[in-house]
Structures are given as C-alpha cells and as structure tokens.
Amino acid sequence: MQNNVLILDFGSQYTQLIARRVRELNIYCEIKPFNNQPKDLSSYKAVILSGSPHSVRSEDAPHPDLSEIKGKKPLLGVCYGAQYLAQFFDGEVGQSNTREYGRAKLSMVEEGETFLEGVSTGSQVWMSHSDTIKKLPAGAKRIASTHDVENAGYKIEGEDTYGIQFHPEVYHSTDGKKILENFLVKIAGVAQTWTPDAFVDTTVADLKDKLGEDRVILGLSGGVDSTVAATLLHKAIGKNLYCIFVNNGLLRKDEFTQVLKQYEGMGLNVKGVDASARFLEALEGESDPETKRKAIGRVFVEVFDDESKLVENAKWLGQGTIYPDVIESVSATGGPSATIKSHHNVGGLPDYMTLEVVEPLRMLFKDEVRRVGASMGLSPELLGRHPFPGPGLAIRILGDITAEKVRILQEVDHIFISGLREWGLYDKVWQAGAMLLPVNSVGVMGDERTYEKCVALRAVESTDGMTADWVNLPYEFLQKVSNDIINKVKGVNRVVYDISSKPPATIEWE
C-alpha cells in the first residue's frame, strides 16, 4: 500500500484522534512509537509527529530519528512535534509566559499558503502546551499566529515540512480537518482510497494469500467485531473457517442461545461450547480486576486449545481485535503510551498452543468496523449492537465472582437494556450496562428492613471508545428502570447512575 501515512507517537492523549481524522479523509494511516519506527519508510507518503506530555527542553525528551524523513518526505509536527523541529533544528523553545491551553483564535493566516487554504483569520484552534516556540527553526517562515502565540504555525522553505502549535485533530479546532486535508492531499499527494469496500477487497485478498488452504478457528462473541472478522475470513477461506461461541457463564441473560440463533442463516460454521462452570471455577475467590481478566483469558485459550484439537489440521486462531485494543495494551517499555488495562485478546498465545493468530480488524477503529460490516451486507441490528467486554460480566461485578452475583447482574442488565430498547433509546447510546458493587446498603421494603446490593447503571456516547461522555437519560426512564430493578431482582435495593466521562474514568469500572 503506497498511500500510507505514518504517525509517530510521543505519548499524547490525542494521537489516536489524529489517526481518526486522517482515516475520515479516506486515507490509511498507522501509529508507531517514536522509538520503534519502521525501518522501511518507502510505503509512507507523509509523516505526522504527535504531541506529547513531555517538554522538548527536558533531559528525558523523546528523540525520534528523522534522518530519512525531514526534507525527504512531507512532514507535519503537531504541538510537541512542531516544538521538536524548532528546538533541534536551530530554533528555540522556551517556557511560555502563560500556559497555552484551550480555545484560541488565529489572528494571522498567511495568504496564498496551500497548507492553510480555506482557513481564515478568526478560525478557532485548540492549544495544549506550557512551552512555546521563541525562535523558528532554520529556513522557516511564520504562516499563522494567535493573540498569545506568535509562532502558531510555520513552514520550512525548500521542504514540505510544517509545524503547528495547536491540535488540528480535536473538534474544537474548527478547520483542523481542512488543515490535515491540505497537508495530506494537496501537499503530500496522498490518494483518498481508504474506503470500506477497498478494505474488504484488500483484506480478503491478503487473507487468501496468507491462509491458503489452512483451517482457522475463530471465537465468536455475538458482537460486532468478531462477527465482522468472521465474515471477512469466511469470504476468504469459506468452509475452512470453524467458528466457536464459548459460553463463559458471564454473558448477558439468554445470550448464549440468542447468539447461536442469530448466526443461523449467515452461512457460518458455528459450534456452541458451554464452558461456564470452567470459567466460574477459575474465578473463584479472585477480586483483582487484572487477575480476573487474565484468568478469563487463560481459560478462554485452554477451551480453544481443547476445541482446536477436534478440528483436524487447524493452524490459525482468528480474533476480532481492533485498533483501540492494541493501542490500550501497548506497554510503557514498548512505546510512550502507558498501559491502561490488559485486553484478553491482545498479546499472543502461550507456548503450548501451536495456533498462529490472525486478526483481520487489528488496524480498524470501532466505527470503521461497522462501516466494513455494512459494506458486506450485515444487518443494521447486528451492527448496531453495543460493545460488550470480552471478559463479560466479570469486570462488571466488582470484587469476587459467584454464580449468584452473575444471576443478579444478568437480571439487572436485562431490565436496563430492554428498557433502553422499549423507550427508543438503545440506538442513541454507544454502550450501556450495569455494575454490581461490592456494597450492601440498608433499605425498607414493605415493613421490613433490608440489607442488600447496590447496582450502578452506565450509558455513554462515543464514536470509538477512546473518549466517552455519559448520556443524559430521561429522569422518567431512570425512575421506571430503577423501580423495576428493585421490585423484580431479589438481592438489590439501591440503584445509582454513573455520570463520569472518559477520561478521567474508563467506560468499564474494572
């Protein structure tokens, strides 16, 4: 693929947003840690340097190798990237008199500059830094300013190298997407050929080439990711795909039978395996979230190892891993982004398992997975399903897991999700669920005092799961759901609603 864009990550919380904005332009891009960039850069037509929580003036400032990039390929430095190009190429960065954070307006925009075509004076941009460029790098000319930031944007003459001290990738930068389009399409000449149909064609061809006549086992969950992954693999290898849907005892109420029924008529070869007792036994007495995740991952792999032996000559394990899973599981030693939580389907397989891993969706964001699914004709109902965590209800039950706690949460979750559908709210929410808290509280039911569990309801809006806002559900709806839960679910006497956004909170509680 000759129309790639390389994004070098210096640890910014916004790096994934840069990738999303680039993908929205129908341009393929990849994020790589600054200290682990590809040795072969021939397939990249442009490079973007991300922001960073670090200062270019500090001793531990991240240092990329730009010897094969600067002056040789179109290069855009964003925030830290722009300051790095100044500090280490004969310019100067110093501490700003005022911390430059939040909204600002461009007070000067260089006329006739392709990079800023369609951007006018007064355009709003988003700042997020405490350093500022005091002196431009060698050969650079200023092309944009704000009231407080004189060198908000610059271009190095004789090169396709640009630097901006604001974030074009965030929605608060009104013309940010336009600036990225100017740089990538008009300056770098990147073709806008990254479409769902193109992804399907390329991926199916690659899978055919990679897998040949090999047999693949894939774990289905009933969710969007694994279903789209299965459909892509089925297109590539047909009958050589063996799908397994494992009941880990931590699914939603009646989900095991419903999901198996859902796959009828899709042409997939699906086998249901009820391993719920095995999972619950492995989780007995475990309260730590990471320990629970890893226990589930271990048993999941063991079940697959058992099932794979029943499929003669199986060589591959298919997984529905998507890009945010990969990004969130990067360790601090492997790149600048800190680990948020381990994902049960990222990180390979144990030595005793001989299957290789194939992940057709590994480079897609969630909304891209849905668009790819739609292009292959999957039903809107299936594609509209809310994300559900791989470890299931285990990470929505805070503390240790018991069969009784699972029963309680399944009933609570069923009332909440069914209510969202009945009230026409389900499709307005990106993800919803209930958490069973390790808290008992006093209540009164009839004339009796109760001392029972508290549950928290959670509903968020998002596009890709990287950031999320809580949904302002109608009070009347919350009142009805709360009443139904307390009256119908034995063991619960209190319901609360989570009004935290991501960041700083995560969508799941564990």
Which residues does the annotation mark as catalytic?
79, 167, 169
* Annotated binding residue 226: yes
Contact in structure between 464 and 324 (CB atoms under 8 Å): yes
- Rounded-to-integer distance, Cα 21 and Cα 343, Å: 25
- Rounded-to-integer distance, Cα 485 and Cα 454, Å: 11
- Rounded-to-integer distance, Cα 116 and Cα 122, Å: 13
Element (H, E) at 241: strand 241-247
Residues 6+ apart with CB under 8 A from 351: none
Measure Cα distances from 207 to 278, 329, 337, 359, 360 in Å: 33, 25, 30, 10, 8
* Annotated binding residue 222: yes
What is the chain's length?
Answer: 510
- Rounded-to-integer distance, Cα 461 and Cα 465, Å: 9
Contact in structure between 152 and 133 (CB atoms under 8 Å): no
A 10 A CB-CB count for 168 gives 28
CA 264 to chain CA centroid, nearest Å: 29
Measure Cα distances from 187 to 41, 106, 117, 181 in Å: 18, 21, 11, 9
Q: Dihedral sign, CA of 101, 107, 108, 111? A: positive
Measure Cα distances from 64 to 70, 80, 87, 346, 403 in Å: 11, 12, 13, 26, 51
Amino acid in the structure at residue 119: V
* Annotated binding residue 221: yes
Collapsed DSSP state (helix, strand, coil) of residue 73? strand
- Per DSSP bridges, beta strands 140-146 and 153-156 are antiparallel
* Annotated binding residue 93: no
Measure Cα distances from 307 to 3, 193, 500 in Å: 40, 40, 41
- What residue numbers does the annotated binding site cover? 221-227
- What residue numbers does the annotated binding site for ATP cover? 221-227
